[in-house]
Amino acid sequence: EAGVAQSPRYKIIEKRQSVAFWCNPISGHATLYWYQQILGQGPKLLIQFQNNGVVDDSQLPKDRFSAERLKGVDSTLKIQPAKLEDSAVYLCASRTGGNEKLFFGSGTQLSVL
Amino acid sequence: RKEVEQDPGPFNVPEGATVAFNCTYSNSASQSFFWYRQDCRKEPKLLMSVYSSGNEDGRFTAQLNRASQYISLLIRDSKLSDSATYLCVVKRNDYKLSFGAGTTVTVRA
């Protein structure tokens, strides 16, 4: 079974630039999450989708972060403009409706210089 | 107060030793509890769910104490491959998941 796919694996940008991350969840997984993990901390939820609808985006810094899942399958997360404190690993996770187990992608490591 | 708190460690133990650590949570109405394992520079993976009566999975034992609002993980007969960060995850009564910052375990030969 294919896992959660994320790209790119690494990204280095300068502050005030824009960046986008892509995630393709496991086939059939209706729930998709984007997490931010800063070094030494646990993952912090940015946004949760159920199919193509947003379930929870209460911790998403909406002045600079946006995410979409237009067709209820793959998703993109964008940061515009980036700040130094956005340096982190961005993890995408998915799960089926009847299972609480989260499957994570390998993440995108973002460095903002 | 953080929703989920863990002793960051590191717990440095020799092979074959037993190591145990706890995680405390602040929301008394939390519903479900999990331990995830995260290897260095890798993604988290579910290690085990934690049931009210406690449960074992091989060398791993998880316990839940609702009265004191903590869960624990015990690893018996530690292997080098058990070296990782163990993340405590709590599902609140609003179905949101909260992750702890993790407990780092290093098993030495």
Put simply, whether A5 touches B (Cβ < 8 Å) is no
pLDDT at A70: 83
pLDDT at A100: 85
pLDDT in tens, B33-58: 999 999 999 999 999 999 888 999 99
Q: Is the pLDDT of residue B94 over 80?
A: no
From CA A38, how far away is CA B15, in angstroms rounded? 30
pLDDT at A106: 97
pLDDT at B103: 97
Interface probe for A, chosen from B4, B24, B25, B43 (most Cβ of A below 10 Å), is B43
Q: Do A40 and B34 touch (CB under 8 A)?
A: no
**CA triple B31-B35-B40, angle to 5 deg:** 145
The whole-angstrom distance between B19's CA and the closest CA on chain A is 21
For residue A101, which residues of chain B lie inside 8 Å, CB to CB? 46
pLDDT at A98: 76
From CA B33, how far away is CA B91, in angstroms rounded? 6
Contact in structure between A106 and A6 (CB atoms under 8 Å):
yes
Contact in structure between A76 and A24 (CB atoms under 8 Å):
no
Q: Beta strands of A2-86 (E only): which ranges?
A: 5-7, 10-13, 19-24, 31-37, 44-50, 53-56, 65-68, 75-79
Strand pairing report for A75-79 and A65-68: antiparallel
**What percent of chain B is modeled with pLDDT above 70?**
100
pLDDT in tens, A8-64: 999 999 999 999 999 999 999 999 999 999 999 999 999 999 998 999 999 999 999
SS3 A1: coil
Q: What is the mean pLDDT of chain B?
A: 94
For residue B32, which residues of chain A lie inside 8 Å, CB to CB? 100
Q: How many residues does chain B have?
A: 109
Going by pLDDT thresholds of 50, 70 and 90, the confidence category of residue A1 is low
From CA A21, how far away is CA A81, in angstroms rounded? 14
